[in-house]
Structure 1
């Protein structure tokens, strides 16, 4: 057992830099959700059709993919504190830029900038937590994404409430700038040690890192396959009208936050690797329950369970991959962010096409194959500790 795998000998201390990283990720969650919240207003103001609205999500995901190329270089060249602060300011500037966009090209550029800057923030925060809390990486990563989930919730809520009171949706986006200004007062993480710097000579990508990227792609595909298509699934399965179905999806998104809170407590008792396999298998069962049940109570329970499990995929995958390859924190963080973008680009569209031919209910059921593939990839990655030499490609 190497040093990275030994349990910490000291209790988990949430110091100033830890809270700083948590809250920056909450601002990231806010900006991740507001794009979908403000597009109905932009559609009304600028006369966008459905296709033009959809292109904004595509450009946002493309920005996430491109962020990996940028973040990978910045992590090698900049102190982590400077990178987190600079990318967070750029992210908020991108959010505010959409309030001034006056045409289709302008809003698309803002969406791409949000994805690009947000991806760098996510990669930097993940790397910062891994370097700052090496002995409690699992718990820190899960707790950080609890805050990200709170940010995701607060975005649509704030936009909707201000609009309900007759105020401009643009005022809601100012909240991200105000919150970040307060967060900037907290101390940031110190520079990583020389031992944890990426090696310029390591050209080959370790097999465990590549399998981590694959697992993230599959896990995000399962999570956002339900996230994008869940409301329409509920309309068909339970005979709900659109407002009812959209409201009921709060059970799924609420489950992601609640599940992360629960797992952050359980990680004080159980090993993160066992937690990862548990949520993968439970997530598979939850998807199958969604597909197979026509009873409202069972469907709602399965939806909540799916949110609790699928929402834990990403932070537990990242911390497990860093445990296997502690010398490649930057590579894991950057590549996983790119995998999120690729998954958001591909999986919801593929699921839509499958739903047209096989039916949306069956398409959702097919998502159960993704956790099974995740489990196989995680098992393969863990085998690298049983080999005499690290497998690379």
Structure 2
């Protein structure tokens, strides 16, 4: 069984991802607050998801060139610097054009950071990479868990949600000065032997499709879940904003549990189970008319949602044919497109039929993801017979990941 070794590089990477997720999850539930504050429609408020999408798509287009020019280490820190700038800018922005601009900037910076982080974990941990990515996202979601709480508390205290969001800048600056370690760069031999522009395998695009669908599920829940709590479960605006933390709490638990199970079971099967758990939790959340049951359903939904991205990106990188940086960059398109399509579509539906009915779009995305992953599981299934069952399970998803590279000091 592969063993996950957490060295200094691993812990620094976990912290970097956590800082991006504070911004991501802190900003996620404020769309209804912006709608009320700026006196705009749900459709226009949903454009902030589109801004996130544009940032991710642009990032996916330029990341391969930036990685070759800057290297992963500087790419990640540049990304976190841009996220911090977006948080500061959002603090002073009180016009739709400005809030959209800084949402886009933050997403662009986040795509740079996440790309470098996922690629580094994949090469650094080799066969244990899926577990490392899941655990990294669990740690990040753990920090993201407190972000909606802080944003909701500062809003309820009259300080405004922007105060809660901008608090992430201090830890970024502190980590940048204190971290004396460099993120692993692409393996030189591999980079020289294979150009970054080789076509990605067909199996990669099945993982890509699942990332689009699961990204749509997550962004719908984080951006508009508080609206359903307000309108259908009779939760106050401030409490509904903070209550999105129940989704993230479920995500943390799901990722911690999944990280262990991924050392044993096929990632495709794990993702199918996670999608089923998400659907069951969503059914409780969507049908509940009392706060405690709706929040319980949101937590249950988070148990599955928490594994969607780590498993999806892990499958995409495993099926990259030895091109993790290119695969991660292209995966930014999937996430970016989901941020563009899903919130805007859900916001437009909410204006037409109300947020509760509009949320039936989420099971559609679950079905799309399940279809893509079921196909991927089928075409990558190990041949029956021969070999131990544990060996067949660990053949998971794909081509063998690159060998673990030695640690690099600062």
Structure 1 residue 134 and structure 2 residue 126: aligned?
A: yes
Choose 353-362 or 61-70, whichever is displaced more.
353-362
Q: CA RMSD in A?
A: 3.5
Given that 2:38 and 2:95 are in contact with CA atoms closer than 8 Å, whether structure 1 keeps it comes out as no
Other-structure match for 1:260: 255
Structure 1 residue 349 and structure 2 residue 339: aligned?
A: no
Other-structure match for 2:323: 328
Unmatched 5+ stretches in structure 1: 1-6
Other-structure match for 2:390: none
2:8 aligned to which of 16, 26, 49: 16
Given that 2:29 and 2:222 are in contact with CA atoms closer than 8 Å, whether structure 1 keeps it comes out as no
1:340 aligned to which of 335, 339, 347: 335
Structure 1 residue 26 and structure 2 residue 18: aligned?
A: yes
Distance 1:191 1:304, change over 3 A: same
Choose 106-115 or 314-323, whichever is displaced more.
106-115
Once the two structures are superposed, residues 248-274 of structure 1 have per-residue CA deviations (whole angstroms, 9 ceiling, x without a partner) of: 333222211222122223334434333
For residues 217 and 88 of structure 2, what CA distance do their matches in structure 1 show? 31
Choose 356-365 or 337-346, whichever is displaced more.
356-365
For residues 36 and 325 of structure 1, what CA distance do their matches in structure 2 show? 30
Given that 2:207 and 2:373 are in contact with CA atoms closer than 8 Å, whether structure 1 keeps it comes out as yes
* SS of equivalent to 1:368: helix
Matches within 5 A, 1:281-296: 281-292=276-287, 294=289
1:239 aligned to which of 234, 239, 242: 234
TM-score (normalizing by structure 1)? 0.81
Other-structure match for 1:4: none
1:91 aligned to which of 83, 88, 100: 83
Q: 1:189 offset after TM fit, Å?
A: 2.0
Other-structure match for 1:3: none
Distance 1:105 1:348, change over 3 A: closer
Q: 1:340 offset after TM fit, Å?
A: 1.5
Other-structure match for 1:123: 115
Other-structure match for 2:56: 64
Distance 1:357 1:159, change over 3 A: closer
Distance 1:108 1:65, change over 3 A: same
For residues 95 and 228 of structure 2, what CA distance do their matches in structure 1 show? 33
1:213 aligned to which of 196, 208, 212: 208
Q: 1:56 offset after TM fit, Å?
A: 4.5
1:50 aligned to which of 32, 40, 53: 40
Q: 1:342 offset after TM fit, Å?
A: 1.4
Q: 1:97 offset after TM fit, Å?
A: 4.2
Q: 1:70 offset after TM fit, Å?
A: 1.4
Q: 1:25 offset after TM fit, Å?
A: 0.6
Given that 1:76 and 1:197 are in contact with CA atoms closer than 8 Å, whether structure 2 keeps it comes out as no
Other-structure match for 1:309: 304
TM-score (normalizing by structure 2)? 0.78
Count of aligned residue pairs for this structure pair: 378
Q: 1:312 offset after TM fit, Å?
A: 1.3
Distance 1:83 1:359, change over 3 A: closer
For residues 280 and 43 of structure 1, what CA distance do their matches in structure 2 show? 31
For residues 379 and 192 of structure 2, what CA distance do their matches in structure 1 show? 22
Other-structure match for 2:269: 274
Matches within 5 A, 1:142-161: 142-158=134-150
For residues 244 and 326 of structure 1, what CA distance do their matches in structure 2 show? 46
Other-structure match for 1:113: 105
Structure 1 residue 192 and structure 2 residue 182: aligned?
A: no
Given that 1:212 and 1:321 are in contact with CA atoms closer than 8 Å, whether structure 2 keeps it comes out as yes
For residues 108 and 324 of structure 1, what CA distance do their matches in structure 2 show? 34
Other-structure match for 2:407: none
Given that 2:268 and 2:376 are in contact with CA atoms closer than 8 Å, whether structure 1 keeps it comes out as no
Distance 1:143 1:373, change over 3 A: same
Choose 98-107 or 63-72, whichever is displaced more.
98-107
Given that 1:16 and 1:188 are in contact with CA atoms closer than 8 Å, whether structure 2 keeps it comes out as no
Q: 1:190 offset after TM fit, Å?
A: 4.4
For residues 42 and 201 of structure 1, what CA distance do their matches in structure 2 show? 41
Unmatched 5+ stretches in structure 2: 383-397, 399-410
Q: 1:92 offset after TM fit, Å?
A: 2.7
